[in-house]
Amino acid sequence: MDPVPTFPQLAAQNLTSDLDVTQAELVSLLDLAAEVKRAPGSFRSSLRGRIVSLLFEKPSLRTRITFEVASKQLGGDAILNTGPIGGREPVADVARNLERWTDLIVARTFSQKTVDDLALYARVPVVNALSDLYHPCQIFADMQTLQEHWGGWKGHKLAFVGDGNNVANSLMLDGARLGLSVTCVTPPGYEPLPDILAQARAFAAETGAVISVANDPAEGLAGAEAVYTDVWASMGFEHEAAERARAFAAYQVNSDLMALAAPGALFMHCLPAHREEEVTSEVIESPISVVFDQAENRLHAQKALLLMLLDGPAK
C-alpha cells in the first residue's frame, strides 16, 4: 500500500465562501495544488474510501467532472444528485441524511443561503462549488494559473470586465489577500456589492494591493496584465439577457479592448464562453488566452481543497 503524504488542514470545517480560508491557508492550498499537479501519483491513496456528495442545482461541465475526477484520483469516489436542493425536503434534512452516508458535500446552487444552511446542519464539510455570491473553487484555479504564468501575484494587476457577479466577488477577495490588484470594469449599475468591495479593500490595505471599480474600460484596463471576463447573464438571469446585451455591448473583450491593457496581457474566462458576446473568438483562441489552463487547474486546486478538508483515508 502506498504511503499517504501529510498535508495542512483548514481550520474551518467548510468552504461556504472564500472567507472560510485564511490568507495563510490560501497560500498553502495553492502550494499544495501545485504539488498535486507536479506529482499526482503521490496522492492516489490520500482519500481512499472517502465519498463525496455532489449536489448540483445548475448544469455543469468543469465543476462536476473535476470534482468527480479529483475524488477518484485521490482514491475516493463521488456521487451526483441534480435538481433543487431542498425541493422535496428541507435543506436541513438533506444535510443530515448526507452526513450519514458521505464524507463531504459539494453544492452548486443558486442561493448562498442553501450553502450556508447545508453547512449549518451537516456534520461533514460543505464546499461552495458556486452560488450567487461566491465562486471560490474557480478563483483558486485562476490564482494557480496566474502563479504559473507570472511566478506570483504581488505587484500584478488584473481587470475583470463585465457583471460584478460571484466571480468578481471571489476575484477581489482572493486577489486582495495575495497582493494582486483587481479592477472591476462594469457598466453603471452592475458594480460589485458594496460590502464585499469593502471587505476586499480591507484585505488589500494589508497586502499593498489596490481594489477598484471603473465604468470606463480605458481607465480600468490601463496597466492590466490579465483581462478576465464572464458571461453577461449568468444562470438565473437569463430573463435579463436582452437588457444586459445592450448594457454590456461596449464591454466586449475584443482586440481593441485588449489593446487598452498592458502589452502581453493574458486573457481569462471561467467558461462556458458565449463567443462573439462577452468575448470574440479571435481573443479566446489567441496565444494570450489561458482559459484552458484555468479549466485544467480546477482539478488540481480542488484536489488540494479536498485534501485540506478531509483528514486522510477513511478510518
- Tens of pLDDT, residue by residue over 82-107, are 999 999 999 999 999 999 999 999 99
Return the pLDDT at 260: 98
Return the pLDDT at 241: 85
The verdict on domain 18-135+298-309 having CATH code 3.40.47.10 is no
Return the pLDDT at 178: 98
Q: Is the peptide bond before 272 cis (omega within 30 degrees of 0)?
A: yes
Q: Is residue 28 a contact partner of residue 149, using CB atoms and an 8 Å limit?
A: no
Return the pLDDT at 54: 98
pLDDT of 280 > 80? The answer is yes
> In whole angstroms, what is the distance from residue 220 CA to residue 237 CA?
25
Q: Is residue 310 a contact partner of residue 102, using CB atoms and an 8 Å limit?
A: no
Q: What is the pLDDT of residues 190-246, one digit of tens each?
A: 999 999 999 999 999 999 999 999 999 999 999 999 999 999 987 667 778 899 999
Domain residue limits, the chain: 18-135+298-309, 138-294
Q: Which three cell numbers stand for residue 96?
A: 443530515
Handedness of CA 178, 180, 185, 188 (dihedral sign): positive
> CA-CA-CA-CA torsion for 127, 131, 134, 135, nearest 10 degrees?
70
- How confident is the model over 305-312, as a mean pLDDT? 95
Q: What is the percent of the chain with per-residue pLDDT over 70, rounded to a whole number? A: 97
- How confident is the model over 44-71, as a mean pLDDT? 97
CATH for 138-294, among 3.20.20.70, 3.40.50.1370, 3.30.110.40, 3.50.50.60?
3.40.50.1370
Please state whether 268 falls in left (phi above 0), alpha (psi between -120 and 50) or beta. Answer: beta
Return the pLDDT at 7: 81
Q: What is the pLDDT of residues 134-169, one digit of tens each?
A: 999 999 999 999 999 999 999 999 999 999 999 999
- How confident is the model over 5-26, as a mean pLDDT? 93
Tell me, yes or no, if the two domains 18-135+298-309 and 138-294 fold the same way.
yes
Question: Mean pLDDT, the chain, as a whole number?
Answer: 96
138: helix, coil or strand? helix
Catalytic residues: 108, 135, 138, 230, 270, 298
